[in-house]
Amino acid sequence: MTRPLEGLKVLDFTHVLAGPFATRVLGDLGADVVKINSQARAIGANDPQNPYYIMWNRNKRALALDMSHAQARQTCRELAEQADIVIDNFSVGVLDRWGVGFDDVSQVNKGVIYVQMSGMGDGGPWSDFVTYAPTIHALAGLTQLTGVEGREDIGIGFSYNDHQAGLHGAVAILAALEARHRTGCGQRIDISQFEVGANFVGPSLMDFMINGHAARPTGNDLPYDKLAPHGCYPCAPNSTAATAQIYDAVAAERWIAIACMSDEQWHSLARLMGDPEWTSTAQYSHATGRYEHRALIDSKIAQWTQNQDAYELMTRCQNAGIPAGVVQNGVDLVERDPQLRASNFLFEFEDVHPEIGPTFADRLPIHFANTPCDQYSRVRALGEDNESVLRDWLGVSEEDFANTQAEGWLQ
């Protein structure tokens, strides 16, 4: 049974994370994603042996094109004329300068959908800005809102907005395909990764516009709900021999997140703690009183959790109806997490990479009943699929491919 996007042709010029994540989703769903790269560009996060590249470029074929050559640009134009989707996250205008932009290609390929995923979008005074996750997070307000009080410089610390921009890209493509199904026409899609980030601070913008309240970092507190306890609490350190060999004392720390969203959950937590006398204080019986004294409550809970096994405590909390979760690290997710193990979420590719060796990945977290998406191909080496792509998309013969390869622009 075929996957949902079988037969869809995607020409992928993306790099780093946001764009490659969008096209990885399409590849997981069955699309024929052709990743364009070259020896000149295969550096840093665009190097096929870089962990970033390995993570975000599975289920894609690799075509090496040196776009400094006129023949490479002509071949790229022919590929674009066969594509359903052309996607890039270059600065605005790069594909146009190569002669493979939407205005040129759509004259021949009426149904083609172009997706431009630049940092700031097309137009506006900042459209030429070079952006990465830390700068997007900062400009969009995410850094300021996700720190702790007095430390607006902390921020998220991971490429959250890149993932969100990638998901926006994938959804936009699916919407454009539906529009094409109805009208027969493709279109150009402009995605501003900056606007994606600003979209996630919408409640803070609304609070300021309506109430004149400038949002501040809230740490583990909810910004618009006064609930307590709602935080992370220390548990007994992870002192297993295996962990001790890998991590230092800080990394061996154990924490548990506990979030009481109702009075009932608070009373359940109090019972789980053995109903110590301090929990019976009248003002702790309602959320407002607990919130006003949350620092004291947090210190009391930390005294109770600090010598307990985090996983055992999580289970006891959950069995009592109290939302709780261990603050897991990468080793936990790979070696200890029973939920991920039960779903075979993490796996090793059967096809061993000829240069890197064994590689691993996470499965698409979407499960289709009738069109299962459970086919995964490892990341490909630079230009590994040159012949198959030119044969399948352009009908190039074996003899013609040999002549083309000798010309030196397939690299």
Extents of the domains making up the chain: 9-199+343-407, 230-340
Quick one: pLDDT at residue 50?
93
- Give the CB-side neighbour count of residue 293, counting CA atoms within 13 A: 15
Structure tokens at 190: 């402009």
> What's the rounded mean pLDDT across residues 41-70?
94
Quick one: pLDDT at residue 317?
98
pLDDT at 94 over 80: yes
**Per-residue pLDDT band at 205 (split at 50, 70, 90):** confident
- What gap in Å lies between CA 42 and CA 48, rounded to an integer? 7
Which entry of 162, 298, 332, 392 is annotated as an active-site residue? 162
User: Are 19 and 87 within 8 A, CB to CB?
Assistant: yes
Structure tokens at 44: 């840093």
> What's the rounded mean pLDDT across residues 30-34?
98
User: Are 301 and 233 within 8 A, CB to CB?
Assistant: yes
With CA atoms as reference, report the closest residue to 204 among 192, 220, 222, 191.
Answer: 222
HEC-encoded secondary structure of the chain: CCCCCCCCEEEECCCCCHHHHHHHHHHHCCCEEEEEECCCCCCHHHCCCCHHHHHHCCCEEEEECCCCCHHHHHHHHHHHHHCCEEEECCCCCHHHHCCCCHHHHCCCCCCCEEEECCCCCCCCCCCCCCCCHHHHHHHHCHHHHCCECCECCCCCCCCHHHHHHHHHHHHHHHHHHHHHHHHCCCCEEECCHHHHHHHCCHHHHHHHHHHCCCCCCCCCCCCCCCCCCEEEEEECCCCCHHHHHHCCCCCCCEEEEEECCCHHHHHHHHHHCCCCHHHHCHHHHCHHHHHHCHHHHHHHHHHHHCCCCHHHHHHHHHHCCCCEEECCCHHHHHHHCHHHHHCCCEEECCCCECCCECCEEECCCCCCCCCCCCCCCCCCCCCCCHHHHHHHHHCCCHHHHHHHHHHCCCC
Quick one: pLDDT at residue 231?
96
User: 334, exposed or middle or buried, with CB in 10 Å at 0-12, 13-18, 19+?
Assistant: middle
Quick one: pLDDT at residue 246?
54
pTM of the model: 0.91
pLDDT tens for 355-403 read 899 999 999 999 999 999 999 999 999 999 999 999 999 999 999 898 8
pLDDT at 354 over 50: yes
Quick one: pLDDT at residue 28?
97
> What's the rounded mean pLDDT across residues 147-161?
84
Structure tokens at 314: 């999580």
> What's the rounded mean pLDDT across residues 155-161?
86
pLDDT tens for 162-185 read 999 999 999 999 999 999 999 999
Question: What percent of the chain is predicted at pLDDT more than 70?
Answer: 97
Contact residues for 403 (Cβ-Cβ < 8 A; gap 6+): none
> What's the rounded mean pLDDT across residues 188-211?
91
Quick one: pLDDT at residue 241?
42
**Per-residue pLDDT band at 79 (split at 50, 70, 90):** very high
- What gap in Å lies between CA 5 and CA 26, rounded to an integer? 7
- Give the CB-side neighbour count of residue 24, counting CA atoms within 13 A: 28
pLDDT at 264 over 50: yes
Quick one: pLDDT at residue 249?
61
Active-site residue, 221 included: no
> Which fold, 230-340?
formyl-coa transferase, domain 3 (3.30.1540)
Query: Which residues lie across from 32 on neighbouring strands?
Result: 9
Quick one: pLDDT at residue 242?
47
Quick one: pLDDT at residue 224?
86
User: Are 376 and 58 within 8 A, CB to CB?
Assistant: yes
pLDDT tens for 214-260 read 888 888 888 888 999 999 999 999 866 444 555 566 668 999 999 99
> What's the rounded mean pLDDT across residues 257-272?
97
Quick one: pLDDT at residue 1?
67
User: Are 8 and 30 within 8 A, CB to CB?
Assistant: yes
Query: Which residues lie across from 74 on neighbouring strands?
Result: none
Question: What percent of the chain is predicted at pLDDT more than 90?
Answer: 76
Neighbour tally for 244: CB within 10 Å? 13
Average pLDDT, the chain: 92
User: Are 255 and 310 within 8 A, CB to CB?
Assistant: yes
**Per-residue pLDDT band at 348 (split at 50, 70, 90):** very high
CATH for the stretch 9-199+343-407: 3.40.50.10540
